């Protein structure tokens, strides 16, 4: 090997690394567009079964009619969400004093003072523990208010993103076969059949998975709402909706939602007697949410995770755990879809592998 070959190799490596760096930078700049495409792909996976149902069962002659009806369903659903929840978030957020840091701090410490008084009335010296922990210096209420302000701002001003997602989803559903033809021209001929079969299986499994997730969130939302209405929380709809959305984060989300619900329950009764009103209602909410989680963890989640993607519950638990350790909350959310895709690809390309055979025997 001559010095010229070595220098050419070094220059080639530098150009490749530079190209990769530029590509990563460009992808970073257009990350909003990539998010729109990702959301559109999820909506497409959910919408494909609807389009197929309308085409086959209702015997619609043109695919475009089924796609338009599916998009109208999405638009009506999103419009109902906007009309129902965004004004509710804004008005009830103000009623809960969650948009004002000073009011939130005042309500919290009034509540905390009542807790200290209650514990001391029961011969528990909480004042000493309170001083040792130095709780006031460790609480950052700006984080809570900033998060809720950001959530409300996002929900109140997402028209551009919404229009983009609807537009992209429409063409993903309408021109699905055109994308397949284009994709066939790109992929190598010798792997074409395996890749297309893998994509078909992944699309089928993930469509079932995302539809199942939506059903699970609806069930959890209704159960949360029933618990909060029984207790008599004024902001029941908003709290139940936020806690249901947090359920998207496996295992950790429900815990955060429970703490969030109990805290908002206590704040919503701020000013009432702690021992006879605040504490009992908070315990009722805690018990109710715990029962909801028992139902969800033992019925809803196993059915969705195990049956929709054909994986064992322990297998799913370990995958989500590893995803969380490697990539945090986003890793936990995307762990199941990514793992399902890898299983399907493994079964098509290395079916003789013993581990792959065990993991994919139900696919």
Considering the chain, what percentage of its residues have pLDDT values greater than 70? 74
What are the residues whose beta carbons fall under 8 Å from the beta carbon of 187, sequence distance 6 or more? 195
Among 41-45, 61-65, 133-137, 247-251, name the one with the lowest average pLDDT.
133-137
96 pLDDT above the threshold of 60: no
Burial bucket for residue 41 (CB in 10 Å: 0-12, 13-18, 19+): middle
Q: What are the domain boundaries of the chain?
A: 190-363
4 pLDDT above the threshold of 80: no
The structure tokens listed for 62 are 């043109």
Judge contact between 322 and 334, C-beta under 8 A: no
**Cα separation, 242 vs 252, whole angstroms:** 14
Within 10 Å of residue 75's Cβ, how many Cβ atoms?
Answer: 12
Taking Cα atoms as reference points, which of 265, 267, 271, 260 lies closest to residue 283?
265
**Cα separation, 248 vs 358, whole angstroms:** 28
Taking Cα atoms as reference points, which of 75, 305, 80 lies closest to residue 169?
75
**pLDDT band, residue 360 (cuts 50/70/90):** confident
User: Residue 244: what are its φ and ψ, rounded to 5°?
Assistant: -65, -40
Among 135-144, 305-314, 317-326, name the one with the lowest average pLDDT.
135-144
Q: pTM of whole model > 0.75?
A: no
| Alpha-carbon distance values, 351 to 202, 256, 361 (Å) | 16, 41, 10
The structure tokens listed for 30 are 């257009």
284 pLDDT above the threshold of 80: yes
**pLDDT band, residue 98 (cuts 50/70/90):** very low
Mean predicted confidence (pLDDT) in 257-270 = 80
Q: Write out pLDDT tens, residues 72-87.
A: 888 887 777 666 665 5
**pLDDT band, residue 91 (cuts 50/70/90):** low
pLDDT at 99: 46
Contacts 24+ apart (CB under 8 A), 27-35: 32/161, 33/164, 35/161
| Alpha-carbon distance values, 276 to 126, 233, 262, 279, 300 (Å) | 19, 15, 16, 7, 35
Taking Cα atoms as reference points, which of 246, 182, 190, 186 lies closest to residue 220?
246
Judge contact between 206 and 49, C-beta under 8 A: no
**Cα separation, 344 vs 349, whole angstroms:** 9
pLDDT at 84: 60
Higher pLDDT pick, 220 / 193:
220
**Cα separation, 288 vs 282, whole angstroms:** 10
**Centroid of chain to Cα 57:** 31
């Amino acid at each position: 090997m001559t010095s010229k070959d070595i220098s050419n190799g070094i220059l080639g490596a530098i150009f490749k690394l530079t190209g990769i760096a530029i590509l990563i930078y460009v992808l970073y700049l257009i990350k909003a567009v990539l998010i729109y495409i990702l959301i559109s792909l999820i909506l497409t996976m959910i919408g494909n079964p609807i389009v197929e149902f309308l085409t086959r069962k209702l015997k619609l002659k043109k695919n475009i009619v089924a796609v338009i009806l599916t998009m109208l369903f999405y638009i009506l659903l999103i419009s109902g969400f906007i009309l129902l929840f965004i004004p509710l978030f804004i008005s009830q957020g103000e009623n809960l004093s969650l948009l004002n840091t000073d009011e939130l701090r005042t309500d919290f410490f009034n509540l905390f003072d009542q807790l200290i008084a209650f514990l001391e009335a029961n011969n528990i010296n909480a004042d000493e523990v309170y001083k040792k922990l130095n709780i006031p210096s460790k609480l950052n209420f700006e984080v809570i208010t900033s998060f809720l302000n950001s959530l409300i701002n996002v929900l109140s001003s997402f028209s551009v993103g919404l229009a983009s997602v609807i537009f992209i989803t429409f063409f993903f559903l309408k021109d699905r076969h055109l994308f397949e033809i284009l994709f066939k021209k790109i992929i190598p001929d010798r792997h074409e059949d395996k890749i297309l079969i893998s994509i078909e299986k992944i699309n089928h499994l993930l469509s079932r998975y995302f539809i199942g997730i939506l059903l699970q969130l609806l069930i959890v939302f209704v159960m949360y709402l029933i618990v909060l209405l029984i207790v008599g929380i004024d902001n029941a709809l908003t709290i139940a909706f936020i806690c249901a959305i947090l359920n998207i984060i496996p295992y950790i989300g429900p815990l955060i939602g429970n703490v969030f619900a109990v805290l908002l329950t206590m704040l919503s009764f701020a000013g009432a007697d702690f021992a006879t009103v605040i504490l009992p209602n908070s315990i009722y909410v805690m018990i109710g949410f715990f029962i909801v989680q028992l139902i969800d963890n033992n019925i809803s989640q196993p059915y969705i995770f195990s049956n929709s993607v054909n994986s064992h519950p322990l297998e799913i638990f370990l995958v989500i755990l590893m995803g969380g350790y490697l990539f945090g909350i986003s890793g936990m959310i995307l762990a199941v879809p990514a793992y399902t895709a890898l299983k399907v690809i493994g079964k098509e390309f290395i079916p003789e592998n013993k581990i792959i055979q065990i993991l994919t025997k139900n696919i």
